[in-house]
Amino acid sequence: MTQKPLPEGLHRDTLAVHAAIEKSQYGENSEALYLTSSFVQPNAETAARRFAMEEDGFTYTRVGNPTVSSMELRLAALEGTEAAIATSSGMAAILLLGMGLLRAGDHVVCSQSVFGSTIRLFAGEFSKFGISTTFVSQTDVSEWAAAMRPNTKLLFAETPTNPLTDICDIQALADLAHNAGAHLAVDNCFCSPALQQPKRFGADFIIHSGTKYLDGQGRVMAGAICCSRKHVDDLFLPITRTAGMVLSPFNAWVVLKGMETLGIRMQAQSERALALAQWLEQHPAVQRVYYPGLPSHPQHALAMRQQAASGRGLGAAVVSFDVRGVDPVTLRRNAFAAIDAVRVCSITTNLGDAKTTISHPASTSHGRLTEDQRSAAGIGQGLIRLAVGLEYIEDLKTDLALGLDHLA
Ligand SMILES: *Cc1c(COP(=O)(O)O)cnc(C)c1O
């Protein structure tokens, strides 16, 4: 169907609803789901040109699919990058980043506070292929600078981090990378482009786990890298079409539709998270609250500046807190008691869902670390993480009070 192109300069909230490839000849208003593995060619000559990449046109879903293209186009529009490339999961996006950018002998500098599987991917899997990684403090830029080597090709950060919500200065890291001829990648999973657009601060690659807020209802796995068109075409597409860590069209469609409500969800979930963080800070059973939207957060000002893409400066939806206790055994018992008392929150480690999730990082997401590694990371036995969803705020307070009031 011939349709008028979208006007220039539309707001992110409008693009979240409208950015997509052309409608089909049927003029569907909701984007179509092309659940097909291959595409019929008009004739052998056209097929030959398309397989040789001399002509646009879909051939096989490992190489490209219209629903996946719409999801990529919409996400790139939200992040403000030229292009995006979708992957089967967030971890597959980071794998693709490394495969596209790095060679044996290259060096990476990475925050020590990134997602646990990301640490294992760099420290374990990539090291098998001759790529070395130095892990540094999330917040101390001088540590990043000191770790740079002549062969450093990539700086990798995530902000805010899981579960302590530490913030890194994206602009400072981008400057450091670019002055050394390296690139900066930022995992933007926690804020999503509704709250933070790392490209504005100089990030070259923005990583997404679409599994989280982009889907928004905890249904599918998905991932993506947002970057320049040239990087997608030259570095990443040749790998996905060969190695095959592509996103299923069905999952792409779920995420595509999820992004339509991203802005209002991030707003509503951030507001609930702030209200809950303020309430927790006053609770006698709570030792400390970690939330970038609170003035007590060590990088509150930086977080509000970086997380201002919404125009509102929101703290995002993950809140962590320490319950009180005198020693690790008591702390763990108190944290477990607080978690086990809930009736509304789900005891699970996923985040980005409309349902609030509650978890104990020291025994789950960070359970494979030693006690020493955990205390270096600031993750004590009394720490509880909440990924706040869309429930009525008073119901969430009542739910958490079930356990906390007994500890007070
Ligand atoms: C979940 C997550 C990932 C990995 O994404 P998957 O889709 O689970 O593979 C990467 N980074 C962050 C910050 C995450 O929370």
| Percent of the chain with pLDDT strictly greater than 70 | 100
- Residue 374 has a pLDDT of 82
Q: What is the pLDDT of residues 195-225, one digit of tens each?
A: 999 999 999 999 999 999 999 999 999 999 9
Cis peptide before 163 (omega within 30 of 0): yes
Q: What angle do CA 114, 303, 202 make, to 5 degrees?
A: 70
- What does the H/E/C string look like for 192-208? HHHHCCHHHHCCCEEEE
Residue 100, pLDDT > 70, answer yes
Name the region of 52 (left: φ>0; alpha: ψ -120 to 50; beta: rest).
Answer: alpha
Q: Where are the beta strands (DSSP E) in 165-230?
A: 183-187, 205-209, 223-227
CB distance 389 to ligand 1 below 6 Å:
no
Counting from 1 in the atom list of ligand 1, the atom nearest the Cα of 190 is 13
- Report whether 98 contacts 131 (CB < 8 A): yes
249 lines ligand 1 (CB under 6 A): no
Which amino acid residue places its CA nearest to atom 4 of ligand 1? 90
- 196 CB contacts (<8 Å, ≥6 apart)? 159, 188, 306, 307, 308, 309
Which residues have CB under 8 Å from 184's CB, separation 6+? 154, 155, 156, 157, 170, 173, 174, 176, 177, 178, 202, 203, 204, 205
CB atoms within 10 A of CB 239: 16
Residue 38 has what DSSP assignment? Answer: B
Whose Cα sits closest to atom 6 in ligand 1?
A: 90
The string of pLDDT tens digits covering residues 307-332 is 998 888 899 999 999 999 999 999 99
- Is CATH 3.30.70.890 correct for 261-407? no
Sign (positive or negative) of CA dihedral 132, 91, 56, 238: positive
- Ligand 1 centroid–CA 322 distance in Å is 24
Band of pLDDT at residue 369, cut at 50, 70 and 90:
confident
Dihedral in degrees, nearest 10, Cα atoms 310, 294, 380, 353: -30
Report how far residue 227's alpha carbon sits from residue 291's, in angstroms, rounded to the nearest whole number: 29
Mean pLDDT of 12-20: 96
* Residue range 346-366, pLDDT digits in tens: 999 999 999 999 999 999 988
Q: Does the CB atom of residue 221 touch ligand 1 within 6 A?
A: yes
Distance (Å) from CA 95 to ligand 1 centroid: 12
Q: What is the pLDDT of residue 32?
A: 97
Structure tokens at 264: 């209002």
pLDDT attached to residue 376: 74
Mean pLDDT of 25-49: 96
* 209 close to ligand 1 (CB < 6 Angstrom): yes
pLDDT beyond 90 at 378: no
- Asked whether 290 lines ligand 1 (CB < 6 A), one says no
Q: How far apart are CA 134 and CA 151, in angstroms?
A: 12
Out of 6-20, 230-244, 324-338, 370-384, least confident range: 370-384
Q: What is the pLDDT of residue 1?
A: 59
Which atom from ligand 1 is nearest to the alpha carbon of 162? 13
71 in Cβ contact with 252 (< 8 Å): yes
70 lines ligand 1 (CB under 6 A): no
> Residue 115 C-alpha to ligand 1 middle, in angstroms?
7
The confidence band for 116, taking pLDDT boundaries of 50, 70 and 90, is confident
Hey, what CATH topology would domain 12-260 get? Aspartate Aminotransferase; domain 2 (3.40.640)
- pLDDT computed for residue 208 by the predictor: 98
Q: Where do the structural domains in the chain lie, given as residue ranges? A: 12-260, 261-407
- Answer whether 208 contacts ligand 1 (Cβ < 6 A): no
In this prediction, residue 367 carries a pLDDT of 86
Residue 2 has pLDDT above 70, yes or no: no
